[in-house]
Amino acid sequence: MAETNKTDKTSIQAKVLEVIRPYVKDETVLSSLTGQTDIIKDLKINSARFVDILLDIEDAFEIAIDDSSAAKIITVEDAINVISDKLALKNEGAK
Amino acid sequence: MQVNNNKHRVVITGMGVVSPNGIGVGAFEQAIRKGTSGIKYLPELESFQFAARIGGVPEISDELKQHYFPKELFKSFSASILFGCIAGREAWLDAGLKMPEELSEPDWDTGAILGSGLAGADILGGTAVPMINNGNTKRLGSTMVEQCMNSGPSAYLGGLLALGNQVTTNSSACSTGTEAIVDAFERIKAGHAKRMLAGGSEGSSTYLWAGFDSMRVLNRVSNDNPESASRPMSASAAGFVPGAGAGLLMLESLESALQRKQRIYAEILGGAVNCGGQRQGGTMTAPNSKGVQRCIRSAVELSGIKPADIDAISGHLTSTMADPVEIKNWTEALGRKGKDFPYINSVKSMVGHCLGAAGAIESIATVLQLYKGFLHPSINCEDVHPEILKLISEERVVRKEMITDNLKIIAKASFGFGDVNSCLIFKKWDNT
């Protein structure tokens, strides 16, 4: 169970990276991306564009990110956690 | 000749243009010399049930776009911003300046006045309004404000070039482009800036053009013959043809240009703007002739020249019933008619009416004519309007390219809704 979870999170991170890529001026910063990477500060993304990244994440994973969940997202790992929670809720709803 | 008594003379050291008949100053010059029309049939206008289905739209390749926008904006950006940035970058490089580094100090001595009639109309009408009406406000994203705001083009250009002086947008309908140049001229003359990029940008948008279609002021009888549709000064002129594009001129103090040893295209001797007050025959949409004439005379007086010094006129001349009225106003303002009237032509015959960008694109044509020594043809004017022939000799209407070294001074005027007027006097640069 834990193993599956890790695989899921790796694939989510890969997908998040692709969502973020167009917003980064210098793509080389993406090569050192980890879970602890601060999306705005470390990747030097214009903070106004954060809402666009959220919208793109919603589209990419077919989820809705409410304001309180959005407020939790600072690092890449925060984003992955919110996404996997939302995906889990969605899958439960589907059952 | 007394040029002006002010400390700072103002010259033009760079130009950039995005026009329906040519992208870039070189292509534009070739097009206006040959009389190449940029007017085409636009199927999109048919689907929107326009009566007039023709227009002048610059064609920008995706490759060119990539120079100007971060990838994040590819999804949705306004044509007015794109055109303004392309023309502004060209004018900047043409003026011998380098693109700024990412971390460079802003250029505190250079600003921009980049006007629009309705910047962002394409994004507002095509993206924002439908989403908001469908309750999707949350999904508009962060770029909708900057894409729709009227100052979007100047704001993007300011960032592209790291401008540190005044960066703003003026708006005075079809007078916008010329007014921007007058305002920038005044700012340099007063010593508030060394250099100002000045001009206008207008996107191609059904949402901008639709109101004109409904007003029945667009040519709706030439859908089958787009290139002949814009016919300024012609007896068969049947309304204007909407156009889009951008023109930017780098205005610079003479001392700065000389110090940089930069090539000088022409000098701006003076300019004037005014309003007819929508009185004495003037309305929201028609000019008070007294206001037009005062504007032209003011520009002449402020330039320290006599009406007789004007060799040619780049008219506003939109291909409507107002063309003969404009000619009459020029004859009365200058006190010149018949064979004594200056040569006159209209860029709109080839590109249509680029609205907020018109005066800027036409000012670039004016400067090119002085610098290179030619007058471009005003096409589709085989049948000069009889009311015009009562005022001026037929040979004064330039219908074929004229090569001449005798051009010293050209006047350029624009007029707009709101009964507003603007006029500029350009002089060939002869190193004095």
What pLDDT, in 10s, does the model give residues B240-289? 999 999 999 999 999 999 999 999 999 999 999 999 999 999 999 999 99
A48 at B interface, C-beta within 8 A: yes
For the cut 90, the answer to whether the pLDDT of residue B227 exceeds it is yes
Cα separation, B397 vs B185, in Å, equals 29
Q: How far apart are CA B189 and CA B169, in angstroms?
A: 19
Across residues B393-422, what is the average pLDDT? Answer: 98
Determine, for residues A52 and B74 on separate chains, whether the beta-carbon distance falls below 8 Å: no
- Residue B298's pLDDT is 98
Of B69, B71, B72, B127, which to mutate for an interface test with A (greatest number of A Cβ within 10 Å)?
B72
Confidence of residue B69 (pLDDT cuts 50, 70, 90): low
Q: Interface pTM (ipTM) of the complex?
A: 0.82
A52 touches chain B (CB under 8 A): yes
Distance from CA of A58 to the nearest CA of B (A): 10
A89 — contact with chain B (CB < 8 Å)?
A: no
CB contact under 8 A, A22 and B71: yes
Nearest chain B CA: its distance from A10 CA (Å) = 24
Beta bridge partners of residue B56, listed in sequence order? B39, B243
**How crowded is residue B257: how many other Cβ atoms within 10 Å of its Cβ?**
27
Nearest-Cα distance to chain B for A4, in Å, is 32
Work out the pLDDT band at A27, boundaries 50, 70, 90: confident
Taking the Cβ of residue A64 and every Cβ of chain B, the question of whether any pair is shorter than 8 Å is answered with: no
| Subunit contact B142:A25, Cβ cutoff 8 A | no
Query: How many whole angstroms separate alpha carbon B171 and alpha carbon A57?
Result: 38
Domains of chain B and any CATH numbers: 10-259 (3.40.47.10), 270-427 (3.40.47.10)
- Residue B71's pLDDT is 64
Chain A interface includes B159 (CB < 8 A)? no
Chain A CB contacts of B76 under 8 Å are none
Q: Do A22 and B74 touch (CB under 8 A)?
A: yes
Q: Which residues in chain A have Cβ-Cβ distances shorter than 8 Å to B143? A: 49, 52
Question: What number of other Cβ atoms are within 10 A of residue B255's Cβ?
Answer: 13
What residues are paired with B246 via a beta bridge? B18, B201
In SS3 terms, A53-85 reads as HHHHHHHHHCCCCCHHHHHCCCEHHHHHHHHHH
pLDDT of residue B432: 84
Q: Which of B102, B139, B142 sits opposite A48 (nearest CB)?
A: B142
pTM for the complete prediction? 0.94
**Which chain A positions have a beta carbon within 8 Å of B141's beta carbon?**
51-52, 55
Q: What is the pLDDT of residue B428?
A: 98
Closest C-alpha among B405, B397, B269, B299 to residue B342: B397
Q: How confident is the model at residue B64 (pLDDT cuts 50, 70, 90)?
A: confident
The answer to whether B38 and B352 are in contact (CB under 8 A) is yes
Whole-number pLDDT of residue B263:
98
Residues of A in contact with B71 (CB under 8 A): 22-23
Predicted local distance difference test score (pLDDT) of residue A70: 96
Q: Looking at the partner chain, which of B71, B74, B141 has a beta carbon nearest the beta carbon of A55?
A: B141
CB B167 within 8 A of CB B214: no
SS (H, E, C) chain B: CCCCCCCCCEEEEEEEEEECCEECHHHHHHHHHHCCCCEEECHHHHHCCCCCCEEECCCCCHHHHCCCCCHHHCCCCCHHHHHHHHHHHHHHHHCCCCCCCCCCCCECCEEEEEECCCCCHHHHHHHHHHHHHCCCHHHHCCCHHHHHCCCHHHHHHHHHHCECCCEECCCECECHHHHHHHHHHHHHHCCCCCEEEEEEEECCCHHHHHHHHHHCCECCCCCCCHHHCCCCCECCCCCECEECEEEEEEEEEHHHHHHCCCCCCEEEEEEEEEECCCCCCCCCCCCCHHHHHHHHHHHHHHCCCCHHHCCEEECCCCCCCCHHHHHHHHHHHHCCCECCCCEEECCHHHHCECHHHHHHHHHHHHHHHHHHCEECCCCCCCCECHHHHCCECHHHECCCCEECCCCCEEEEEEEECCCEEEEEEEEECCCC
pLDDT at residue B4, as a whole number: 46
If you count residue pairs, one on A and one on B, with CB atoms under 8 Å apart, how many are there?
22
C-alpha to C-alpha distance for B315 and B319, rounded to whole angstroms: 11
Confidence of residue A90 (pLDDT cuts 50, 70, 90): confident
Domain spans, chain A: 2-94
Selected for mutation to probe chain B from A19, A44, A52, A62 (highest B CB count within 10 Å) is A52
Token pair of A38 as six digits: 């601060």
Cβ separation of A51 and B142 shorter than 8 Å? yes
Find chain A residues with C-beta within 8 A of B70's C-beta.
22-23, 25
- B383 has pLDDT over 80: yes
A2-94 — its CATH code? 1.10.1200.10
pLDDT band at A92 (very low <50, low <70, confident <90, very high): confident
Contact A22 B142 (CB under 8 A): no
> Is pLDDT at B226 greater than 70 in this prediction?
yes
pLDDT band at residue B70, thresholds of 50, 70 and 90? low
| A55 touching chain B per CB within 8 A | yes
Q: What is the mean pLDDT of residues B85-110?
A: 96
Q: Is the pLDDT of residue A29 over 50?
A: yes
CA distance linking residue B303 with residue B2, whole number of Å: 8
Sign of CA dihedral B270, B340, B366, B374: negative
* Average confidence (pLDDT) over B132-157: 95
Query: Band of the pLDDT at B2, cuts 50, 70, 90?
Result: very low
Closest CA to B311 of B361, B260, B269, B353: B269
> Which residue in B74, B102, B141 is closest to A51 by CB distance?
B141
Q: Which two tokens stand for residue B298?
A: 């003011």
Which of B64-68, B103-107, B338-342 shows the lowest per-residue confidence on average (mean pLDDT)? Answer: B64-68
Reported as a pLDDT band with limits 50, 70 and 90, residue B3 is: very low
pLDDT band at B29 (very low <50, low <70, confident <90, very high): very high
CA closest to A20 among chain B residues: B72
Local confidence band at B1 (pLDDT 50, 70, 90 cut-offs) = very low
Nearest to B234 by CA among B321, B174, B292, B315: B321
A35 touches chain B (CB under 8 A): no
Tens-digit pLDDT profile for residues B312-357: 999 999 999 999 999 999 999 999 999 999 999 999 999 999 999 9
**CB–CB contact B141 A22 (8 Å):** no
**Chain A residue with Cα closest to B144:** A52
- Average pLDDT of chain B is 95
Q: In this predicted model, which residue has the larger pLDDT, B431 or A6?
A: B431
Q: How far is CA B343 from CA A29, A66, B43, B235, B311, in A?
A: 60, 66, 37, 19, 6
CB contact at 8 A, B252 and B198? no
